[in-house]
Amino acid sequence: MILFPAIDMKDGRCVRLRKGDFSTAHQVANSPLEVAKQFAAAGARWVHMVDLDGARDGVRKNFPLIYEVIRQSGLNVDLGGGLKNELDVITVGEAGVGRMVIGSAAVTRPELVQYALRQYGPEKVAVGIDCLNGRVRTAGWEEDSGLDYLDFAAQMEKLGVKYLVYTDIAADGMLSGPSYEQLAALQKRVSCSIVASGGVTTLDDVKRLRDMGLYGAIIGKAYYAGTIDLSEAVREAGEQC
């Protein structure tokens, strides 16, 4: 199982949120590049980065720092947040991201997902499903789309999407454990490779997600709070290619 240690960017700072609430943002590190290099030293091969400002207001103020990570960290960057149009897709695609994660726009403009798939292929594109109480949220998690997350996942699979990043907003940043039941239901509904996001807290969480056969898991607050040793988690997760 691939581990994706996470760096969320807001106003040029590395931050964490609780349940996606922007008012809870607190700085957890100084330099995203330094943190990414720490991830690499622990054995990670990917980093999950989110441009929170891009997700909320479409302003890509964090991109210079994200670009440094892409070019200098030695990690594959899984990047989400604010990919709203074709220019955004081209910008991050040509910057050399390992995979772009399209979130809200996959709901409002599914044709953008198709465009990204045509331009860069299914290995370079993921759709982010941000879920609260079984319904997909958009606009930086602040709006309810009214869509059931399982139905939406099936729609994305029909478009040719191979990778889904499933985030349980209620668990995000809470150190409460992943949403195993929702993840299992998603596995039954689609054949996509699924990345679990939200609530991963302990080494036992990593083991359980691995044993479920998930493609990947995002480790966010648990790393910064010290509840997971990333090197140990990588060893348990297995091959990181």
| Largest distance between two CA atoms of the chain | 42
Is 11 a catalytic site residue? Answer: no
CA 135 – CA 133 distance, rounded (Å): 6
| 111: number of Cβ within 10 Å | 12
Residue pair 164/156 in contact (Cβ under 8 Å)? The answer is: yes
**Angle, alpha carbons 165-130-195 (nearest 5°):** 15
Is 78 a catalytic site residue? Answer: no
Residue pair 198/8 in contact (Cβ under 8 Å)? The answer is: no
Residue pair 104/96 in contact (Cβ under 8 Å)? The answer is: no
Crossing angle of helices 63-72 and 32-41, rounded to 10° = 30
CA 123 – CA 39 distance, rounded (Å): 22
CA 170 – CA 73 distance, rounded (Å): 31
Element (H, E) at 127: strand 125-132
Catalytic, out of 8, 78, 172, 205: 8
Catalytic, out of 51, 130, 168, 205: 130
Question: In a 3-state reduction of DSSP, which class is residue 201?
Answer: coil
Catalytic residue set: 8, 130
